[in-house]
Amino acid sequence: MSAHSKQDANKPRIAFLGIGLMGKPMASNLLKAGYKLTVWNRTEAKAQVLAPHGATIASSPGNAANADIIITMLEAGPQVKAVIELALDKIAPGALVIDMSSTRQSEAEELHHMLAQRGVHFIDAPVSGGVLGAEAATLAIMAGGSAEQFTRAEPVLSAMGRPTLVGPAGCGQLAKLCNQLIVGATLDIVAEALMLAQAGGADPAAVRQAIRGGFAESRILEVHGQRMLDRNFMPGGQVKSQAKDLENVLIAAANAGISLPIAEQVTEHYRSLLPITSNADQSAILLMLEHHNPGKRVGTAADKLPQE
């Protein structure tokens, strides 16, 4: 079973549906924690890489779903609903579905009600921290559901990061949108700050270093500020995912009856970036800013970009 921990028969059986950029390290950490894990992915080869570490590979969501806890980590709400519907007849009453994808609050609430009609429990538990956080099991996990089911889920979630119960079903997604609004807006303003430093004649790397440790310090300035200086836009969190989340922020704001003018502006910036690149890291918001400032460029390195 490689370097992973021996599976513990007393722990709940887990199905993990979606072995992508984030799902692979998250599922790997569950194996390391000793959970008996069945995994499924639409492209089976991505799931097969976990077989040497002790995972059972399922050929369909239904074949995976005979478990105590079913975790989904998929692209968006429609995919989550479609996969759960494929598995629904195999999910036993009393089982717990934990959706760790980023979806709309309304989609999480709809899934909660659909499962409740079959006696199946639900928690929405989206994450923040990117691939590095997933690999290090340090993800911020925002959970929406009942206190009873959160207590049941907490040991499992703690194998992947730091879970916090933020309210009833759907509120995990709302908390994730709050997170993504702060991330998106901060990425936008860090890009503008580095551009201002460069265009004004200062060394942007030195400016970043000078302001770190003061009130402008943030994880975004630390990690993504360096990415912008290095012009390394290979994906951690992708532009298309950030854009989707910001669109969902505006939907949540409308549903709550409030106006968020800065969120609207940041969302428009990411909309403008999508035709330039959609698969790049979200720090590529710098490219949108440079597109609107012809002849201005931060740093001297060649761009590192994924194939679109």
Q: Which residues are catalytic?
A: 176
Q: Is residue 163 within 8 Å of 125, Cβ to Cβ?
A: yes
Q: Say how far apart CA 70 and CA 64 lie, in whole Å.
A: 8
Going by C-beta distance under 8 Å and a sequence separation of 6 or more, which residues neighbour residue 188? Answer: 266, 269, 285
CA 65 from centroid of its chain's CA atoms: 22
Residue 167 forms beta bridges with which residues?
Answer: 144
SS3 of residue 37 by DSSP: strand
> Which residue in this structure is represented by tokens 């994808």?
101
Q: How far apart are CA 307 and CA 86, in angstroms?
A: 32
Q: Where does residue 257 fall: left (phi above 0), alpha (psi -120 to 50 degrees), or beta otherwise? A: left
Beta bridge partners of 15: 38, 70
